A and B are shown apart, each in its own frame.
Chain A
Amino acid sequence: DAKTTQPPSMDCAEGRAANLPCNHSTISGNEYVYWYRQIHSQGPQYIIHGLKNNETNEMASLIITEDRKSSTLILPHATLRDTAVYYCIVRPTNTGNQFYFGTGTSLTVIP
């Protein structure tokens, strides 16, 4: 079911930018890319989403390639509290709302 591919784990030094890649080569033209993260024992937390254009909010930036087959989530200045599992999700429009979480990327921010 999962339509995205992410590396299973990554490390990032505290204060540096964390760049989390995601491949979604079968994405359709009207499907959005969402990013969530899950910190241990909490529910998934919404980060950002986009369709074609790059997006930025107070948490992160989302860079989507021109062909939309991949994207990168950027946490500009990673902190220890950013240690979490990050999920890249392509939202299907035909079924409405079945998010396929996949296995995500476990990001560890190192002091």
Chain B
Amino acid sequence: EAGVTQFPSHSVIEKGQTVTLRCDPISGHDNLYWYRRVMGKEIKFLLHFVKESKQDESGMPNNRFLAERTGGTYSTLKVQPAELEDSGVYFCASSQSGWWTDSPLHFGNGTRLTVT
């Protein structure tokens, strides 16, 4: 089966511009998550979808970040306007149904975002 795929793999934008990251989860996985690692820091949780609904968005840093998952399939994470501190690697992960179970998360290879 295909794994979690993310697009683009790299993005370089200027401060103030908008960037949209895309994540395609493993087929059939209702749970989709976004994480990120900013320079020198640990990987941090951003938010969690169950199908098209936001289950937990407590990790979203501010209102410049907007995540959507229309139709409960792929997800997008938009940063508008981008700031220098948004630079980092953004990971998407998915897991099978039942977020309260022990199903492991499967991660994509991330999108490396550089804001100049």
Contacts and interface: CB of A to CB of B under 8 A. Distances in A.
B33 A97 contact: yes
Interface string B74-109: 000000000000000001010100011010111111
B104 A34 contact: yes
B48 A97 contact: yes
Nearest to A38: B43
The interface centre, meaning the residue of A98, A100, A103 with most chain B CB atoms within 10 A of its CB, is A98
A42 B109 contact: yes
Interface residues of A, number: 23
A96 B56 contact: yes
Contacts of B65: none
Nearest to B92: A43
Interface stretch (A6-14, A44-52, A58-66, A74-82): A44-52
B42 A96 contact: no
Contact of B102 (A32, A41, A42, A100): A32
Contact of A46 (B33, B91, B104): B104
Interface of B: 4, 31, 33, 35, 42-45, 48, 55-56, 58-59, 91, 93, 95, 99-100, 102, 104-110
Interface of A: 2, 32, 34, 36, 41-46, 49, 51, 91, 93, 95-103
Given A43-B107, A98-B59, 11 more contacts: A32-B102, A41-B109, A42-B110, A43-B93, A49-B102, A96-B48, A96-B100, A97-B56, A97-B99, A98-B58, A99-B35
